[in-house]
Amino acid sequence: MGVGHIFALGVITRFEDLFHKAADFNLIKVVVAWFIVILQIVLFGYVLYPSRRVAPTLTEEEASKIDRVLYVVPGKHHSIEQIKRAAEKCDPSNEIAYELLKVSMLRDLKRQRFVRGLFAAGASFLLIFASQFYRSL
């Protein structure tokens, strides 16, 4: 999605060159233009960023019951023997339920960020259109 957005912005800026009038560039115009274009790219990149470590966490009470053997936290288990002992004493249904909930919360976080990026892209296209329309008058 982000790559498609970048290509679309490239097409729009090429199209804008057809209507280019002698413009006086100043620092404020350059900063605003970069903000309009780069902000959505950053927001789409932010969709890819959330990893499992930044996913929303469960309450301490729920998390304390889980040995976390389906996704091993390196700081908790330092050897193969420790992982084997944790796997032997874990409750598989708790482990699976924990992982399903954790991944679902991460997926929802990514969806929220993606929708935010879409709205920002729509707003930037609207601003670019308004700018081109105003200059064409």
Q: Which two tokens stand for residue 69?
A: 């053997």
DSSP state letter for 55? S
Say which residue the tokens 């023997």 belong to. 81
Looking at residue 19, its pLDDT comes to 47
Tell me the backbone φ, ψ of residue 65, rounded to 5 degrees.
Answer: -80, -10
Contacts (Cβ under 8 Å, ≥6 apart) of 15: 132
* Contact status, residue 45 vs residue 114, Cβ threshold 8 Å: no
**pLDDT for 50-102, tens place per residue?**
666 666 677 666 666 777 788 777 777 788 888 888 888 888 888 888 888 88
**How far is it, in rounded angstroms, from Cα 47 to Cα 6?**
15
**How far is it, in rounded angstroms, from Cα 84 to Cα 63?**
19
